[in-house]
């Protein structure tokens, strides 16, 4: 545990990714495999099955520290992180009372056996740990209790460090970490193995993700986009990204979040079984309006995304299909290094050989020129798509969000001018500032909340607004402050949906602040009716 706590401290102390990578490399070089496997699990976002609810932890710390609950609550609000608060409220044990066990022993022998058991058992283990751990280890222990580590390293950074440590290609590491795996020495050995393993054949390929186009450096038609003929243009579908794996006599669907979707979309799995064995398709799952031959809005799909076993009514009400746009494997051969035009030609041929409306080719849009492309992009909302995709015809299928070859060119957002009506403090390192805002629109002479948004202001604006909020609070409801309705902000969003959850009856998709409208008085902010008219 000491070594892992030291790694955590090193990662926490630096913001430099080079330093972090060096600390990770050192850790993986020195730590025993049983510990290293668990470290990898936590650093890549893994969690333990819940040992205690946060309410229980607060009660236990009150007992262990002898402090009243209100003081603990208050401390938490100042610190902004429960694990850290719990650490700070206790003293270090005397040296002779200290307990030092390896990370995997803490987890496998102490915590896991009591997960889900009666409260006194769990409490005893946690209290004993608190009594036996010094400060840095106590913090890490608490982090394991309350959730993920969140220490400024992404899974990708950890994989990069492992690549440097082991020499195994990062894309292969990423592939091996997709889906479920057990944090054991065996898994770690397989992960760092130079040779292809049997398990490699069960997992999807790491997804290639597109970046948003920024008009300033490279508007379509200029720079890298000068020659339209080099680019394949497709619709940017509003569904969920999917890899369809047809291997070993079965068909499996994997989401972008690297989850298996078994049973969720049985009609697609059935259709996929018609494909020849040994192929992998990349595409988009869409809810489809067959009568009008176009996608249903994303809200229709939402009813199915998490539904493990959809019933006949849902299957009928929300029919889905896959529009495939890439072929990553055919006849058991990995095609990712081949150019897109070749992969796509093979995909077209494959889908033509086994025709099924549930498994179709995402069509090429084929604009005449960039002006035509821009005009088609402007029609996106009417067509129920999010915009256009631009893909370089000779590009390989890369790993992660590599820039340059795949771009999403989304339709311009909708906008509204709304009034700031509530504010509350953020979390983590923003816990000392009011960074969480609720905006309202006029409905008669009242302001009705329509969206929460935090992103879009820079630090200077956040600081300025925080000072103003503190001085202009009308009423407080716990951490939430109602403020004088004075400031107007232009909000951007992708769509307006009808919603039963909000008083306004509508909800906006992807709300963000575009600018602070110092020039506009609150009375001139937009009206709720205007937004309602855009809802669908």
Partner DNA sequence: GTCCTTGGCCTTC
Partner DNA sequence: ATCGGACACATTCGG
Partner DNA sequence: CCGAATGTGTCCGATGAAGGCCAAGGAC
Q: How far is the CB of 296 from DNA (least distance, A)?
A: 13
Nearer to DNA, 355 or 455 (CB): 455
Taking alpha carbons only, the member of 362, 336, 326 closest to residue 236 is: 362
Tell me the per-residue interface mask from 272 to 311 with DNA, x by CB under 7 A, - otherwise.
--------------------------xx--xx-xxxxx--
Nearer to DNA, 197 or 211 (CB): 211
Q: How far is the CB of 536 from DNA (least distance, A)?
A: 12
238 binds DNA (CB under 7 A): yes
Taking alpha carbons only, the member of 279, 391, 270 closest to residue 339 is: 391
- Cβ atoms 373, 407 nearer than 8 A: no
Q: Report the C-alpha gap between 73 and 205 in whole angstroms.
A: 45
Tell me the per-residue interface mask from 48 to 87 with DNA, x by CB under 7 A, - otherwise.
------x---------------------------------
Do you know the residue count of the chain?
A: 536
Nearer to DNA, 193 or 497 (CB): 497
255 binds DNA (CB under 7 A): yes
- Cβ atoms 492, 512 nearer than 8 A: yes
Q: Report the C-alpha gap between 332 and 196 in whole angstroms.
A: 14
Q: Report the C-alpha gap between 277 and 256 in whole angstroms.
A: 22
165 binds DNA (CB under 7 A): no
Q: How far is the CB of 276 from DNA (least distance, A)?
A: 26
Q: Which stretch binds DNA (CB under 7 A): 2-10, 192-200, 445-453, 472-480?
A: 445-453
Binding footprint of DNA, residue count (CB under 7 A): 75
Tokens of 251: 């068909």
**Residue 74 parent element (H or E):** helix 69-79
410 binds DNA (CB under 7 A): yes
Q: Which stretch binds DNA (CB under 7 A): 60-68, 131-139, 174-182, 508-516?
A: 508-516
Residues 20, 123, 143, 236: which is the catalytic one?
236
Nearer to DNA, 34 or 420 (CB): 420
Q: How far is the CB of 106 from DNA (least distance, A)?
A: 20
Tokens of 346: 């093979």
**What is the 3-state secondary structure of 380-408?**
CCCCCCCEEEEEECCCCCCCECCCCCEEE
Ordered DSSP codes for 93-152: PPGGG-----HHHIIIIIIHHHTTS-HHHHHHHHHHHHHH--HHHHHHHHHHHHS---SS
Nearer to DNA, 157 or 414 (CB): 157
Q: Which of residues 143-162 bind DNA (CB under 7 A)?
A: 147, 150-154, 156-157
- Cβ atoms 522, 487 nearer than 8 A: yes
532 binds DNA (CB under 7 A): no
Q: Which residues contact 340 (CB under 8 A, 6 or more apart)?
A: 232, 326, 391, 392, 393, 394, 395, 396, 397
Q: Which stretch binds DNA (CB under 7 A): 10-18, 131-139, 321-329, 517-525?
A: 10-18
Whether 452 sits among the annotated catalytic residues: the reply is no
Q: Which stretch binds DNA (CB under 7 A): 57-65, 353-361, 423-431, 440-448?
A: 423-431
46 binds DNA (CB under 7 A): no
Task: List active site positions.
Answer: 236
């Amino acid at each position: 545990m000491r070594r892992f706590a030291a790694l955590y401290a090193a990662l926490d102390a630096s913001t430099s990714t080079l330093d972090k990578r060096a600390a990770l490399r050192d850790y993986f070089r020195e730590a025993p495999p049983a510990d290293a496997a668990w470290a990898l699990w936590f650093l890549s976002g893994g969690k333990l099955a819940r040992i205690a609810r946060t309410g229980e932890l607060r009660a236990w710390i009150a007992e262990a520290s002898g402090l009243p609950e209100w003081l603990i609550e208050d401390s938490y609000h100042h610190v902004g992180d429960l694990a850290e608060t719990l650490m700070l409220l206790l003293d270090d044990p005397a040296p002779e009372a200290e307990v030092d066990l390896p990370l995997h022993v803490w987890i496998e022998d102490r915590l896991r056996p009591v997960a889900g058991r009666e409260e006194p058992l769990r409490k005893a283990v946690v209290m004993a740990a608190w009594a036996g751990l010094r400060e840095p280890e106590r913090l890490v222990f608490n982090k394991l209790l309350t959730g993920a580590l969140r220490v400024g390293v992404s899974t990708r950074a950890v994989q990069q460090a492992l690549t440097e440590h082991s020499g195994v290609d990062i894309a292969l590491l990423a592939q091996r970490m997709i889906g479920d795996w057990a944090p054991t020495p065996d898994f770690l050995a397989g992960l760092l193995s130079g040779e292809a393993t049997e398990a490699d054949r069960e997992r999807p390929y790491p997804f290639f993700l597109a970046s948003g186009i920024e008009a300033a450096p490279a508007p379509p038609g200029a720079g890298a986009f000068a020659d339209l003929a080099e680019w394949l243009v497709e619709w940017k579908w509003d569904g969920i990204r999917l890899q369809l794996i047809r291997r070993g006599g079965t068909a499996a669907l994997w989401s972008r979040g690297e989850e298996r979707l078994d049973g969720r979309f049985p009609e697609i799995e059935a259709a996929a079984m018609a494909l020849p064995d040994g192929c992998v398709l990349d595409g988009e799952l869409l809810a489809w309006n067959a009568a009008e031959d176009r996608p249903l809005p994303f809200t229709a799909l939402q009813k199915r995304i998490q539904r493990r076993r959809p019933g006949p009514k849902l299957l009928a009400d929300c029919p889905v299909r896959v529009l495939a746009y890439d072929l990553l494997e055919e006849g058991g051969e990995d095609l990712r290094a081949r150019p897109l035009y070749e992969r796509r030609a093979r995909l077209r041929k494959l889908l033509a050989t086994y025709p099924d409306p549930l498994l179709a080719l995402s069509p090429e849009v084929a604009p005449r020129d960039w002006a035509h492309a821009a005009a088609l992009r402007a029609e996106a909302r009417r067509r129920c798509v999010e915009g256009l995709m631009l893909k370089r015809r000779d590009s390989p299928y890369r790993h992660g969000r590599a820039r340059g070859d795949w771009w999403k060119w989304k339709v311009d957002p909708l906008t509204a001018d709304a009034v700031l009506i509530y504010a509350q403090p953020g979390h983590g390192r923003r816990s000392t500032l009011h960074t969480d805002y609720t905006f309202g629109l006029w409905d008669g002479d009242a302001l009705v909340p329509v969206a929460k948004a935090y992103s879009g202001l820079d630090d200077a604006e956040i600081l300025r607004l925080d000072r103003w909020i503190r001085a202009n609070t009308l009423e407080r409801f716990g951490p939430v402050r109602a403020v004088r309705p004075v400031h107007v902000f232009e909000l951007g969003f992708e769509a307006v949906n009808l919603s039963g959850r909000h008083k306004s009856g509508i909800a906006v998709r992807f709300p963000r602040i575009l600018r602070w409208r110092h020039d506009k008085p609150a009375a001139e902010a937009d009206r709720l009716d205007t937004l309602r008219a855009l809802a669908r």
